Chains A and B, each alone.
Chain A
Amino acid sequence: MVQLDGVTVVYDSSGTVALDNVDLNVDEGEFVFLVGPSGSGKTTLMKLLTGEVYAKSGKVVVNDFDMSGIKRGKLPKVRRTLGVVFQDYRLIENMNVFDNVAFAMRVVGARRREIKQRVDYVLELVGLEGRGNRLPSELSGGEQQRVAIARALVNNPRMIVADEPTGNLDPTLSLELMLLLEKINEMGTTVLVVTHEKELVNALTKRTITIKGGRVIGDGIGYYDYDI
């Protein structure tokens, strides 16, 4: 699923070492929290998985794709095996909820009937049935993030990667969203969540990888070290 062997990422522009000789494995069907302070390298690790940054050295494998030196033309194939959720939802403002979700299926050339069935199904799964005609601006933050999860889920990805998905939500909505991701994980999708929310991480007993200064400093079940 995800395999990182001795991965180092250096930003050319600033010379900053964002990840330093990182070894990491995430298996099929796991639910993993990736935690750490700001600037620890969490987002870089996410971008490494989506092909937005490249490793200077080491080996990166995502859903059976070897990302070391992968050609840009092949990145869409990798990204179609991933569902990405962002803190700021990143919905297309002038598209309604249905189209925001359906859009990801159109990208892969799905048929109209198939799109209709699948989008209706995922909107129901995330608790947004009947809201397909609304614009993102007409929804609450929690609902918008659910649309983003529906979009990430609609192509039946092998893994969902969520970068601070609860960052803009209040604690109740954050827990609801995490429970939704847990439900998706129970249906067989691997889930990797980057977060700062210590209470949430400690409330859900899941594998938690702690990263600091570009290095993995902890890997265990359900514990976010409050000192970092």
Chain B
Amino acid sequence: MIFNRAGYLIREGFRSIKTHSFMSFATVTIIMACLIIIGSVALLSRNIDALIKELESQNEVVAFVDDSIAEESAAQALESALAAVDNVESVEFVSRTQAMDNFMGQYDADLMEGIDETVFRHRFVIHLDDIAEMAQTKAALEAVDGIAKVKAHLEYADTFVTIRNVVSIISLILTVILVFVSVFIMSNTVKLATFGRREEIAIMKMVGATNSFIRLPFVVEGLVLGILGGGLAFLAEWGLYGLLTGRLMGTLTGSFITLVSFKEVMFPVLAFYLGTGILVGVFGGVNAIRNYLQV
């Protein structure tokens, strides 16, 4: 009897989508539109974040080896001590010969006449995990025996950290506002869709239907519409993002900017879209009929 009844209620959910096709269409469209807006803002913010990280990673710290350590191998031996310092991501040794070659590559060779490599020091080019802690890391690197001086662009680091924080806060606020607005719009659409059915619910109650009997078709309906809305939003986002990044990458050829590929984020996006779609569809529907059940 239970299966018989459950089968009937599930069929009712699908029948209801068909008989209220316009409201079903409106619900799916609104869910889809809201999710695309939220997703696009989130993806934009993810790209800006990746871009800032990329720029941050280009901000190097250079640690100069003390002049007293002239032997290349002795200087290179400091590498492990530097790598052990907190917040150090990578350490690359540059010998004084290499440093001079690099320098000469950048400037006119005539200027370097009569100057030999001893003018330059052995050095390490260091990249940090988090440039927000650049000052502390600089101090820790300077404390390593054999390091004479550390050159770090603290002012750039501060600027990047400020930009990163501002972008994070703005995108967080924007996403939260969008989520609230979208949930409000989506739940109102679902509410509107159920409003026309309050009479039907009242009749069900009057013939002795239990609340769960009335709710189940709405749950099925909300589930199907939520999955449809979320799924279609995902496909549309995929297409839009692909189109947009394709165009952008075309115009940014040769630039240092790289965009996050959709494949990197597709599973979280799909999970968020389907999850939100189902939540709004099911809970929105069940919540919307709650008042009509109080008969």
Q: Which residues of A contact B (CB under 8 A)?
A: 50, 52, 72-73, 75-80, 84, 90-92, 94, 103-104, 106-109, 111-112, 151, 155
Contacts and interface: CB of A to CB of B under 8 A. Distances in A.
Looking at chain A's contact residues, is the secondary structure mostly helix, strand, loop, or mixed?
helix
Contacts of B203: 90-92
A107 B208 contact: yes
Contacts of B1: 109, 111
Given A90-B202, A90-B203, A92-B200, A104 B4 contact: no
Contact of B208 (A52, A91, A104): A104
Interface of B: 1-2, 4-5, 8, 19, 199-200, 202-210, 213, 294-295
Q: Is the interface of B mostly helix, strand, loop or mixed?
A: helix
A52 B202 CA distance: 11
24 contacts: A52-B295, A72-B294, A75-B205, A77-B208, A79-B205, A79-B207, A79-B208, A80-B207, A84-B206, A92-B200, A94-B19, A103-B204, A103-B207, A104-B207, A107-B207, A107-B210, A107-B213, A109-B1, A109-B4, A109-B5, A111-B4, A112-B4, A151-B207, A155-B208
Greatest chain A CB density within 10 A among B205, B207, B295 is at B207
A76 B210 contact: yes
Contacts of A107: 204, 207-210, 213
| A-B interface, 8 closest residue pairs, ranked by CB to CB distance from nearest | A80-B208, A79-B208, A104-B207, A107-B209, A76-B208, A94-B19, A76-B210, A109-B5
A200 B126 CA distance: 101
B213 A79 contact: no
Given A52-B295, A90-B199, A92-B200, A106 B5 contact: yes
Contacts of B294: 72
Given A79-B205, A79-B208, A151-B207, 20 more contacts: A73-B210, A76-B205, A76-B209, A76-B210, A77-B208, A80-B207, A80-B208, A84-B206, A84-B207, A91-B203, A92-B200, A92-B203, A103-B207, A104-B207, A106-B5, A107-B204, A107-B208, A109-B2, A109-B4, A109-B5
Contacts of A84: 206-207
A85 B45 CA distance: 59
Nearest to A47: B295
A108 B5 CA distance: 9
Nearest to B20: A94
B221 to A, nearest CB: 14
A42 B168 CA distance: 65
Contacts of A77: 208
